[in-house]
Amino acid sequence: MFQEILDRLPYKSSFRFVDEITALDTNGITGTYTLRKDSFFYEDHFPGNPVTPGVIITEIMAQIGLVSFGIYLLLQEKDLTNPNENKFPLFTSADVSFLKIVLPGEKLTVVSKKQYFRFNKLKCYIEITNEKAEMVARGFFSGILKNID
């Protein structure tokens, strides 16, 4: 099941921020991502002293905690192999607090807990920690399941 979810992610190459899903059930998901030291955003953020941009941390949280989890919930609900079933989870909003700087090469763990999933809307509380189990960021993320043509 984990690999099937990873295979369904719409992100490719330099903008896919999911390495592994480590836990998954109808209440939440846990996954990891290790930041590559040669990632495109470190070159200019900041030259000589690279720091992971908050928008990238937010994206990691959304890709694992909302989109990957939403794919799982859809797989539980419907047959996504049906060509007429084109629903996909789309990230729509986040209220995030950043607590620590993240450096190139760090492995991050995302834990997402479902707040609700109804009427094609998904809301999750998501935390992201570093390898020292220090909280990097946390917040509420929302998404909607939309038909994609």
Domains parsed from the chain with CATH numbers = 2-147 (3.10.129.10)
User: Average model confidence (pLDDT) for the chain?
Assistant: 92
Kindly state the percentage of the chain with pLDDT values over 70.
93
* Poorest-pLDDT segment among 88-92, 94-98, 101-105, 138-142: 88-92
pLDDT in the model for residue 57: 98
Helical segments of the chain, H only: 2-8, 54-62, 69-77
Angle value at C-alpha 102, between 7 and 23, nearest 5 degrees = 40
Catalytic residue from among 16, 45, 113, 123: 45
- How far apart (Å, rounded) are the C-alpha atoms in residues 123 and 114? 6
At residue 82 the predicted structure's pLDDT band, cuts being 50, 70 and 90, is low
The pLDDT of 96-110, averaged and rounded, is 98
Burial of 14 (0-12, 13-18, 19+ CB in 10 A): exposed
Would residue 4 show up in a list of annotated catalytic residues for this protein? Answer: no
Q: Which residue has the tokens 């030291």?
A: 37
The pLDDT of 108-121, averaged and rounded, is 96
Q: Are 143 and 64 in contact (CB under 8 A)?
A: no
pLDDT in the model for residue 12: 84
User: Between these two residues, 32 and 47, which has the higher pLDDT value?
Assistant: 32
- pTM of the complete model: 0.94
Q: Which of 145, 130, 8 lies closest to 57, judged by CA?
A: 130
Q: Which of 22, 116, 120 lies closest to 68, judged by CA?
A: 22
